[in-house]
Structures are given as C-alpha cells and as structure tokens.
Amino acid sequence: MLNIDFDKLIASFLYNPKEPLMFNSGFFLFLFSGFILIYVLLKKQNTLRILYVIAFSYYFYYKTSGGYFFLMAAVTIWDYYIGLSLSLFHKKSMRKFLVFLSILGNLGLLCYFKYTNFVYEHLCDFSGKAFTPFNIFLPIGISFYTFQSMSYTIDIYRKKIKPTHNLWDYAFFVSFFPQLVAGPIIRAKDFLPQIHRPLLVTRNMFGRGVYLIAAGLLKKAVISDYISINFVDRIFDNPSLYSGIENLFGIYGYALQIYCDFSGYSDMAIGIALLLGFRFNENFDSPYKSATITEFWKRWHISLSSWLKDYLYIPLGGNRKGKIRTYINLMITLLLGGLWHGASLRFILWGGLHGATLVIHKIFLGLFPFLKSTGNRMKPVQRFLGILLTFHIVCFGWIFFRAHTMDSAIAMMQQIATNFRPELFVEMIKGYPYVFLLMFIGFVTHYFPQGWKRWGIERTTMMPLICKALLLVIVIVIISYVKSAQIQPFIYFQF
C-alpha cells in the first residue's frame, strides 16, 4: 500500500522562497506535462485557452515570488487602461501625461524594490548615520515585466501599435510564463497578434522547440551549474587564496557560466513557447564570436539591448545630434543598463566600461575607416584579433559584475597582476579535470559555425516523436548524474 505524505505533497504546490520554480526542476516537468495536456484539449476554445494560460502563468509566478503576483496584476491593469486612454485622447499634452503616468508607475515600482536600500545606504554614508537595510524582497522578474509593459504604452503613444481592447489579451502578454521571470523581453507588436491565431505547432516548430529545450537544459544544468559550484564560486568567494592564473580561469569560467545560464534559460523559454504555438525572437547569438564591442551588444541579451536602444538611446538623441552627444548618449544608456542589473557601484562600473569601450570603438571607426568592416567582411587575422580583444574586454567587465564587493574585485585583479604563477597551470587542470573538460566543450561548441546549430535543429525535427522524447530523457539522465544536491537558481533571477 502506498504511503503518501499528503502534507509534503501539498507543500510542494505552495511557494517556497528557498526553492523557486524553475524550468530545470522535476516539479516543473511534472506541472508542464499536466498543463500541456489540457492546453491541447482547449485547442479550439480560444477564450478558455487564454484564461487557462493566464491562470497557469500566475501560479507559475506565485511559485517563484509568492504573493508578489499581485504587483504584476497591478502593472497589467495600470498599463492596460492607460493604453486605452491614449487611444481616446488626441491632445499631445494629455497623451504625454498619460505615458508619463505609465513610466512613473513602472519605474516607481522597480526603483522601490531595487534601489531603496541603495539610495538609503548612500544617504546614511553622507550623513554619518548607521545603515540598517529595509527588509525589501526583490520580486523575481520585476525588471522584465515592467520594461515589457512600459514599452506597450510607449509604443501606443508613438502610434506604432493600437491598444488591445481585451484585458485578458493584455494579461496574457504580460504574464506569459515561458519568458516571465528572466526574459526575453518581448514586444506587444510581435506577441499580441499571435494570441488569436489558430493554435498551430508545425513540425519545424516542434522540432526546434525540443532542440532548444534540450540545449538549454544542457547549458544550464550541466555546464553552467557544474563549473559554478566546483570552480567559479570558489575563486570569486576568496580570490586572495588562489593564484593569478586560477583567478584568470575563474573569470573565463564565469564568462561561460553566465552565458550558458542565461542563454540556456532563453533557449528553454523560446522552446517552450514554440511548443505552445508562439514565436519569440532570438535573445543570444554566440556573443563571444564578436570581433568588436558594438557587435557584442548586437549578440548579447538582444531583447534588452534593443529595448535600451529603442526606448532610451534613440529618445536621448541617438547619433542624430553630433559626435559628442552620441558619445554622451551611449554612456548614459550603458550606465543605466548597468544600474538596471543591480543597485551597486560594481554594476555601474560594468555599464560604464561597456559604454566607454563603445565610445572608443566609434572614435576608432572615425579615425580608421578600414575598421568599419564587420562580420565575414573582416580579414581573418583582423577578425581573430578582434574576437580575442573583445572577449577579454568583456571578461574584464565580468569581474565587477560577479564579485561580491569592490574589495573582492580589486583582490582578483591584484592576484592576476602580481601573483600569476603560470607554472601552476598543469596542476590546476589536474585538480579540476571535469570542470576544464566542460569549459573546453562549452567554448568549443560556442565557436562552432552557425550551420551546425541549423543542422542540429533539422536532425531533431526529422526525428520520430519517440526519438525526440528519448533525446529529452537522455538529457534528463545526464543532468541527474552531474547535478548538485540543490537545483541552482538562474543568475538573472536576481535582476
């Protein structure tokens, strides 16, 4: 007779702050299996299907952030009615006021949860008062859904889209669970028209979805988590205890870790959306293949970089008001982009580094026109050297992004500069054989030609259904073999 612990069973369906619901958890696989069965049964019941997905999305968010799902509901209602109001008023001053209310509401909410303690700490430093942080919990995904919702009202104000007149459609757009907590940031103009299309998952969509889910799981739960727990975290937690060469490879490891973690989430989000009949734009395009820092920002976190370009850089004037103003606009955009990631001087420095290198790149393009060649038009040696330089600039920035404190970041750089000890390289490899094997696999596959990914998607698409299922089972077995005792949360959950 089965001995079922009903208290434990019920608890598994309730919010646990120590175990937020994630795509790479067995509980999500269990939930999604049940969800997809009912979703398919509602194929021709469009209204019921929309309400069903909204309900599941809100439950999904409850399992990641508890009762803070009411904030998402408030943002949804706020911007939905502002969007409707924008379509009713034609006077420019009134329209400006309405879009200002949308921006104020979204940014006010974001600033309260992310920056209250940051501002208060600096006020205490200035006044000499002891700093005691407020007990403010950062709801997972708030940085993403506020940006997503705010772009909707701005696009209506700019007359790029018309508002939806169905609150449920808008709630579906804001809360859609595959990309809810860590992106990609989707645009209303791309997503809303898909909601009422007949539910159709083509063979290509299904094959691509399975491939992306499998690839995302391997990136996150195998490569990223393993090298993080067994090497990267140890280095960044105590950089002074390790030699310069170990610190350097800790930085290389983090570069791979954050890419595999975040792009792995994006791959899974895009793949799950495809299985549900929705298409998202690509969010990562092999960013470490970039030969310039400008190219890097066209390949890294594409949905955020394009959002910052469209809703911050261009409104500031973009490159339309002369060179100096262009450089200032770039710096402002990247500094605020850094601050978006976290309320810390380290993130501001990270954004400032990227802004400064973008400015330097633009200056060099003006001085040396032959450098304007990009992509495959660059000479092989020029591109190789560009990739090498760009990768190390990005890695330098990752020091500030990952380090716990500025003192820790400085200690890491000091170890590399003064205590490098290259003779420890072989000993380091022997000490962490599986870490370096996974780092080797991760970087090598990252630099594979793009055609290899297309080939993988095509092969997966051509597989019989049983083979697709077997592929996912094999991936799950691999994950269960290498995973740690606890499932590691996605890095971008904290942003």
Q: Which residues contact 195 (CB under 8 A, 6 or more apart)?
A: 50, 169, 172, 173
Q: Which residues contact 323 (CB under 8 A, 6 or more apart)?
A: 362, 366
DSSP code string of 47-113: HHHHHHHHHHHHHHHHHHHGGGHHHHHHHHHHHHHHHHHHHH---HHHHHHHHHHHHHHHHHHHHHH
Q: Which of 301, 341, 354, 361 is catalytic?
A: 341
- Matching residue, tokens 């500094």: 335
Burial class (CB in 10 A: 0-12, 13-18, 19+), 62: middle
DSSP code string of 19-40: S---TTSHHHHHHHHHHHHHHH
| Both structure tokens of 450 | 């793009």
- Matching residue, tokens 């000499």: 128
Contact criterion met (CB below 8 Å) for 185 and 147: yes
Half-sphere CA count of 395, side-chain side, radius 13 A: 20
| Both structure tokens of 267 | 């791959």
- Matching residue, tokens 């090598």: 444
- Matching residue, tokens 């996150």: 220
Q: Hey, what amino acid is at 215? A: A
Q: In whole angstroms, give the CA distance from residue 260 to residue 128.
A: 43
Q: Is 341 noted as a catalytic residue in this protein?
A: yes
Nearest alpha-carbon partner for 480 in 258, 256, 271, 222: 222
Q: Which residues contact 112 (CB under 8 A, 6 or more apart)?
A: 136
Question: Residue 441, Cβ neighbours under 10 Å: how many?
Answer: 14
The answer to whether the Cα torsion of 18, 19, 22, 25 is positive or negative is positive
Q: What is the DSSP letter of 315?
A: T
- Matching residue, tokens 């942003």: 495
Q: In whole angstroms, give the CA distance from residue 189 to residue 366.
A: 36
- Catalytic site positions: 341
